[in-house]
Amino acid sequence: MSGDTALSRRTLLAGAAAAALAGTVAGCGGGDDDAVTFFFQARPQEARSRLLIIDEFRKRRPDIKIRTIMSGPDPLQQMLTYCAGGKCPDVLMSWELLYAGLAERGVLVDLREFLDRDPRYAAESAADGYAPLRDTFRWRGGQYALPEQWSGVFLYYNRKLFEQAGIRPPRRWADAWSFAEFLSAAQALTHRDTDGRAKQWGFVDAWVPYFSAALFGMNNGAEWFTPPVRPERTNIGDPRFAEGLQFYADLAVRHLVAPSVGDRQSVSAQDLFRSGRAAMLMGGHWLYSEFTGRDDLDFDVTVLPVGPHGGPGAITDVGSTGLSIAAASPRREQAWEFVKFATGPEGQALIAASGLFVPVLGSAMRTPGFAAAHRGIRNLEVFTDGPASSRRMAVTPQWGKVESLLERGCNRVLRGAATADSLAGQTATDIDALLRAAI
């Protein structure tokens, strides 16, 4: 992803808050020159959970010091600046849509260097993990990151509003509802005053709108890019993909069950959902801590709808971040020990119990800590089956340029200024040219 997209997706820190927290977190491990530096981006609560992992690692490996570096608003540019100046952090947080550019530039170590030396760990990790997450960090045959959390998107819903409307949403990805059933529910849950203004929206979106629209296209039976890693072409011109994308756009433009682009500027989707003025919200687990523990909000989670050409079950995006090691690191061995811990059973159990992430190992999903952190969720399978129901979106070093074209073309559709089938023209042609240049 571009820096801006990554910000909206992970609900990252505002500049002042980031600076304040960075001053606190950066002290971990002191200023020792022999410390393993760990570069990551996080909200305050997320940063504190990462410190729990670091603290536990320190207890087990007091011989390895960890010093954290908090990212600013553009992590990719910041990483490149560090590395160009010869001060690349040892361990780097990697995003599934960004890491390919770093791998192509030789910034990241191929982790097979370590996995091949530890075949037992490699086999156990692969058996306990999820191929869609792990494979999204494979580039030109190398493994450039190990997944550390799943952040695919799904639907939060207000249980009280659904019960009042007599609607029972599906509980599992395998038992998805149809586009028609989803639209009917959104219409029943949208209420307006006598002047026609929405008092309650059926659906709001807290993710990146054109990413969300693309997932509706993917849930109508078409990949966004083929193949997802090192893609040769985009499928936005596929009639199935266009139909799904148009369905998403029409929720606001035609059916009026979701805020328009203009409406989204005045109030956030999270605020609408928190206040009971939206019955469904599309987002990821990074929002869970914002909604839990509120006496005035009884919520659960459900899956995305499936179009007439999709299914049988619903799918979501991989949405994973991973941990990488810098190729220039003089502390590769120590860095590997930390990456191995954080992405392995012990670190993942801590992630599971924190309630801030969905872990990437099945064993961590089954821990009492994960269930306890989500005790209010009845449809827990939406989380536990999410990684296996994930599909990769696109991994290419040209992602920044590709995304700019996608944003420009898709936003015209989302505003109602064009139809989704128009993307099959120049937009698809220009994207395909960029993709071919990167192969």
Which stretches does DSSP call E strand in 61-217?
Answer: 66-70, 91-95, 138-139, 142-143, 146-150, 153-158, 191-192, 198-200, 204-205
Task: Tell me if 353 sits within 8 A of 215, measured CB to CB.
Answer: no
Instruction: Name which of 218, 249, 219, 223 is nearest 235 in CA terms.
Output: 223
Phi-psi region of 146 (alpha: psi -120 to 50; beta: other; left: phi over 0): beta
Q: Quick one: pLDDT at residue 26?
A: 40
Q: State residue 32's pLDDT score.
A: 58
The 3-state DSSP class for residue 317 equals strand
- Evaluated on CA atoms 398, 399, 400, 406, the torsion sign reads positive
| The pLDDT of residue 13 | 30
Which residue has 């991973």 as its token pair? 322
CA 81 to chain centre: 25
For the chain, which ranges sit under pLDDT 50?
A: 1-31
Give the global pTM.
0.90
Q: How far apart are CA 220 and CA 189, in angstroms?
A: 24
Residue range 390-422, pLDDT digits in tens:
999 899 999 999 999 999 999 999 999 999 999
Q: Are strands 142-143 and 138-139 parallel, antiparallel or unpaired?
A: antiparallel
CA 271, 209, 46: angle at the middle one, nearest 5? 55
Residue bearing tokens 């960004």: 98
Q: Give per-residue burial for 380-409: e unless 16+ CB within 10 Å, then b.
A: bbbbbbbbebbbbbbbbbbbbbbbebbbeb
Task: Give the CA angle between residues 42, 45, 46 to the nearest 5°.
Answer: 40
pLDDT at position 306? 98
**What is residue 33's predicted lDDT score, i.e. its pLDDT?**
73
Q: By percentage, how much of the chain surpasses pLDDT 90? A: 79
Q: Which residues contact 249 (CB under 8 A, 6 or more apart)?
A: 213, 413, 414, 416, 420
User: What's residue 317's pLDDT?
Assistant: 95
